[in-house]
């Protein structure tokens, strides 16, 4: 599913999600140890992934590269819970929601 | 001792003596009768931004805009002559809503050659003219030229589409005035990559404008979002803007915001260091014309630490220009005295590479983390204002735009009431 040199991320392929609502829902539905494991595996590969993906035009990514891109979008999504909040939800956000309704799709 | 110069009067607020300095009465945010007065005096009388011209790129491109505050729905459409027009979204036959999909209350968009009513197939051209009546011979001499869609004033400023339900309103450019004039030339049209968020908020519409019209709250409410040393420093220093400007009914605040790029990379989260982006957007300016020099209305204090200008165009449109070369809009659409639809859009120069796109991604994700905290605080405020246990509140000099907003709304309500006498 992923470019060969990023094969170590295959166990996290359930984070290959094309839209923000899917990524946000998975974040809220995940336990912190799950997100921590994903982050610990993916974060060291962020720079190599950017270097690899930037060789392709953004809107013509081959399927494995597109999967890797969506995985890195999910890494961005879990970065706040892992790096800052230590919980999936934004603290003090109660029952409030803020839905993304338009985003550029890759 | 202020860190940044204030006007000779000693404060921004006293520079505008009509504002006064006494506590502000917030009954205007809980009183249902006052809300009804605002609907008539403000939302049916002033220019309302309904989006950008990029939403209607081609002949026949349209979108609908629900205006619950004025009990109507509008169609905004680009005609064959290239002109963008707005119409009440209502068939002239028996008043059915003309354009909608599945759910009449939900907004929609698309491209079409004409509008056909779902009910009896009456058809309208892109210019609103009635072009076809089903079984026309059954009617009693209906003059088609007199039954076009009901048009609404629609004018464009810098690519922003505005509507006005008052046929006698002054022209848009006159209404927006000098603050808008000072922004002309900014390359809004290059920034077409859009992220839009929506939320229904359990507060009066003015309370969310209040929240975003001051940055006094930022070091406190959002302190957990910065790394510890930086958060402590921000908390102890507090907040002071670089500059304020009021051109009633509109206003602006100009502020520093030195996180793009940060002076010390250890101030920001690990992922921000790798991506070179965060709340303040991508650290590196896009390579387009129009950002250097900036139009004269941006960073009016010409301060080297400048980070954001936030313009409030009365009543419910805010436009934020960020130093790293992107912009953001806020809209607050009232639904009831204690409820509104909040909409925000982030606009970037389109990404060409995965790196550029992920820099936008983290800006959007970070915005949402902050926005959720801001939004939730409002419901807490609204619920206590409703108690009326306290009705008047002291606003500080860094809250001048709030003082101005509540006064401006009150002036419109009063003027409208006086005119009706």
Q: Which residue has the tokens 């680009």?
A: B78
Percent of chain A with pLDDT over 90: 90
Question: From residue B267, how far is each of B231, B258, B263, B367 by CA, in Å?
Answer: 9, 11, 8, 18
Range(s) of chain B covered by CATH 2.102.10.10 = 48-168
Sheet holding B151-157, edge to edge: B48-52, B160-164, B151-157, B84-88, B72-78, B61-67, B109-111
- What per-residue confidence (pLDDT) applies to A56? 97
Question: Measuring CA to CA, which residue among B256, B234, B48 is closest to residue B152?
Answer: B48
Using CA atoms, how far apart are residues B336 and B71, in angstroms rounded to an integer?
A: 11
Of A50, A98, A102, the CB nearest to B368: A98
By CB neighbour count within 10 A (0-12 exposed, 13-18 middle, 19+ buried), where does B419 fall? exposed
Any domain includes A24: yes
Would you say B78 and B142 are in contact if contact means Cβ atoms under 8 Å apart? no
The secondary structure of B2-70 as a DSSP string is: -SS---TTSSHHHHSGGG-SS-EEGGGGT-HHHHHHHIIIIITTS-EEEEEGGGS-STTEEEEEEEGGG
What is the rounded (10 degree) CA torsion for A63, A68, A72, A75?
Answer: 120
Any domain includes A70: yes
Any domain includes A91: no
Supply φ then ψ for residue B370, to 5 degrees: -65, -45
Please state whether the predicted TM-score (pTM) of the whole model is above 0.90.
yes
* Most B-contacting residue of A84, A98, A103 (CB-CB within 10 A), to test interface: A98
What does the block give as tokens for B340? 């509104």
Q: Which helix (H) or strand (E) holds B162?
A: strand B160-164
Would you say B312 and B318 are in contact if contact means Cβ atoms under 8 Å apart? yes
Of A20, A73, A98, the CB nearest to B199: A98
Helices A46-53, A63-80: crossing angle, 10 deg rounding: 140
Q: Which fold has domain B48-168?
A: Rieske Iron-sulfur Protein (2.102.10)
B356 touches chain A (CB under 8 A): yes
Q: Regarding predicted confidence, which is higher, B303 or B358?
A: B358
Q: Cβ separation of B224 and A53 shorter than 8 Å?
A: no
- What per-residue confidence (pLDDT) applies to B222? 61
Q: Cβ separation of B365 and A77 shorter than 8 Å?
A: yes
Tell me the CATH class for B12-42+183-420: alpha beta
Using CA atoms, how far apart are residues B398 and B391, in angstroms rounded to an integer?
A: 20
Supply φ then ψ for residue B296, to 5 degrees: -60, -25
Using CA atoms, how far apart are residues B68 and B151, in angstroms rounded to an integer?
A: 18
Kindly list the residues from chain A whose CB atom is less than 8 angstroms away from the CB atom of residue B198: 98-99, 101
B379 touches chain A (CB under 8 A): yes
Kindly list the residues from chain A whose CB atom is less than 8 angstroms away from the CB atom of residue B372: 90, 93, 96-98
CA atoms within 13 A on the CB side of B271: 30
- What per-residue confidence (pLDDT) applies to B386? 96
Task: Average the pLDDT over B4-29 and give the result.
Answer: 95
- In chain A, which residue's Cα lies nearest the Cα of B370? A90
pLDDT tens digits for range B19-78: 999 999 999 999 999 999 999 999 999 999 999 999 999 999 999 999 999 999 999 999
Confidence of residue B305 (pLDDT cuts 50, 70, 90): confident
Q: Which helix (H) or strand (E) holds B205?
A: helix B205-212
Q: Is the pLDDT of residue B258 over 70?
A: no
Please state the separation of Cα A79 from the chain's center in Å. Answer: 9
* Most A-contacting residue of B275, B328, B365, B374 (CB-CB within 10 A), to test interface: B365
Of A43, A83, A98, the CB nearest to B372: A98
Q: Which helix (H) or strand (E) holds B212?
A: helix B205-212
Name the average pLDDT for chain B.
93
Confidence of residue A60 (pLDDT cuts 50, 70, 90): very high
Task: Average the pLDDT over B221-235 and give the result.
Answer: 64
Q: Cβ separation of A79 and B355 shorter than 8 Å?
A: no
Q: Which positions ≥6 away from B187 have C-beta within 8 Å? A: B288, B289, B290, B291
Would you say B194 and B57 are in contact if contact means Cβ atoms under 8 Å apart? no
Any domain includes A43: yes
pLDDT tens digits for range B98-129: 999 988 889 999 999 999 999 999 999 999 99
DSSP-H helix ranges across chain A: 20-29, 32-42, 46-53, 63-80
pLDDT tens digits for range A33-51: 999 999 999 999 999 999 9
Confidence of residue B228 (pLDDT cuts 50, 70, 90): low
Kindly list the residues from chain A whose CB atom is less than 8 angstroms away from the CB atom of residue B225: 84
Q: Which domain holds residue A45?
A: 19-85
Confidence of residue B235 (pLDDT cuts 50, 70, 90): low
For CA atoms B265, B270, B271, B275, the dihedral sign is: positive
Using CA atoms, how far apart are residues B309 and B252, in angstroms rounded to an integer?
A: 7
- In chain B, which residue's Cα lies nearest the Cα of A71? B358
- In chain B, which residue's Cα lies nearest the Cα of A66? B354
- What per-residue confidence (pLDDT) applies to B2? 64
Confidence of residue B373 (pLDDT cuts 50, 70, 90): confident
pLDDT tens digits for range B400-421: 999 999 999 999 999 999 998 8
B383 touches chain A (CB under 8 A): no
Any domain includes A3: no
Q: Which helix (H) or strand (E) holds B402?
A: helix B400-420
- What per-residue confidence (pLDDT) applies to A93? 82
A25 touches chain B (CB under 8 A): no
- Give the SS3 label for residue B125: coil
Q: Is the pLDDT of residue B230 over 70?
A: no
Question: Measuring CA to CA, which residue among A70, A17, A78 is closest to residue A43?
Answer: A78
Total of domains in chain A: 1
Task: Average the pLDDT over B233-259 and give the result.
Answer: 84
Q: Which helix (H) or strand (E) holds B329?
A: strand B326-336
What does the block give as tokens for A31? 């336990």
Percent of chain B with pLDDT over 70: 94
Any domain includes A5: no
Q: Which positions ≥6 away from B188 have C-beta within 8 Å? A: B52, B158, B159, B160, B327, B347
Q: Is the peptide bond before B315 cis (omega within 30 degrees of 0)?
A: yes
Q: Does the model's ipTM exceed the 0.90 cut? A: yes
Percent of chain B with pLDDT over 90: 80
Q: Is the peptide bond before B261 cis (omega within 30 degrees of 0)?
A: yes
For CA atoms B362, B368, B371, B377, the dihedral sign is: negative
Confidence of residue B165 (pLDDT cuts 50, 70, 90): very high
- In chain A, which residue's Cα lies nearest the Cα of B365? A77
A6 touches chain B (CB under 8 A): no
Kindly list the residues from chain B whose CB atom is less than 8 angstroms away from the CB atom of residue A35: none
Range(s) of chain B covered by CATH 3.90.380.10 = 12-42+183-420
What does the block give as tokens for B309? 């200008």
Using CA atoms, how far apart are residues B224 and B378, in angstroms rounded to an integer?
A: 19
């Amino acid at each position: 599913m992923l470019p060969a040199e990023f094969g170590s991320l295959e166990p996290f392929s359930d984070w290959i999600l094309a839209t923000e609502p899917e990524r946000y829902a998975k974040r809220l539905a995940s336990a912190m140890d799950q997100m921590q494991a994903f982050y610990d595996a993916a974060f060291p590969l962020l720079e190599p992934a950017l270097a690899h993906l930037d060789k392709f035009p953004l809107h013509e990514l081959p399927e494995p590269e597109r999967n890797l891109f969506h995985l890195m979008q999910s890494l961005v999504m879990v970065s706040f819970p892992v790096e800052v909040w230590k919980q999936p939800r934004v603290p003090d956000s109660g029952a409030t929601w803020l839905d993304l309704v338009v985003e550029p799709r890759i | 001792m202020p860190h940044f110069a204030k006007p000779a009067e000693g404060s921004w607020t006293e520079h505008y003596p009509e504002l006064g300095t006494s506590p502000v009465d917030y009954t205007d945010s809980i009183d249902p009768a006052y809300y009804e007065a605002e609907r008539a005096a403000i939302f049916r009388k002033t220019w309302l931004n309904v989006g950008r011209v990029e939403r209607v790129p081609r002949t026949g491109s349209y979108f609908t805009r629900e205006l619950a505050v004025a009990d109507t729905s509008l169609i905004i459409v680009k005609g064959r002559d290239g002109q963008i027009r707005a119409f009440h979204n209502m068939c002239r036959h028996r008043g059915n809503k003309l354009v909608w999909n599945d759910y009449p209350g939900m907004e929609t968009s698309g491209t079409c050659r004409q509008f056909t009513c779902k009910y009896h197939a009456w058809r309208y051209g892109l210019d609103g003219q009635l072009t076809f009546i089903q079984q026309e011979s059954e009617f009693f001499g209906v003059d088609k030229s007199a039954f076009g869609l009901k048009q609404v004033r629609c004018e464009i400023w810098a690519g922003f589409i505005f509507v006005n339900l008052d046929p006698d309103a002054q022209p848009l450019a006159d209404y927006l005035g000098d603050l808008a004039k000072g922004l002309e030339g900014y390359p809004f049209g290059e920034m077409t990559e859009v992220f839009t968020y929506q939320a229904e908020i359990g507060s009066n519409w003015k309370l969310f404008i209040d929240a975003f019209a001051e940055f006094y709250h930022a070091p406190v409410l959002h302190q957990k979002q910065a790394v510890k040393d930086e958060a402590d420093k921000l908390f102890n220093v507090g907040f002071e803007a670089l500059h304020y400007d009021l051109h009633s009914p509109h206003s602006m605040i100009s502020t520093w915001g030195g996180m793009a790029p940060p002076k010390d990379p250890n101030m920001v989260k690990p992922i921000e260091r790798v991506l070179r982006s965060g709340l303040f957007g991508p650290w590196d300016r896009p390579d387009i014309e129009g950002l250097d020099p900036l139009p004269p209305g941006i960073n009016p204090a010409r301060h080297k630490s400048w980070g954001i200008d936030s313009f409030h165009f009365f009543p419910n449109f805010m436009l934020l220009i960020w130093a790293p070369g992107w912009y953001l809009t806020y809209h607050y659409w009232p639904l009831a005295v204690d409820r509104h639809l909040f909409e925000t859009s982030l606009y970037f120069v389109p990404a060409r590479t995965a790196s550029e796109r992920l820099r936008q991604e983290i800006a959007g994700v970070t915005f949402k983390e902050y926005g959720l905290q801001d939004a939730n605080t409002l419901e807490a405020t609204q619920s206590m204002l409703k108690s009326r246990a306290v009705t008047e509140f002291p606003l500080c000099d860094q809250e001048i735009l709030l003082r101005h907003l509540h006064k401006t709304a009150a002036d419109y309500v009063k003027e409208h009431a006086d005119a009706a006498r």
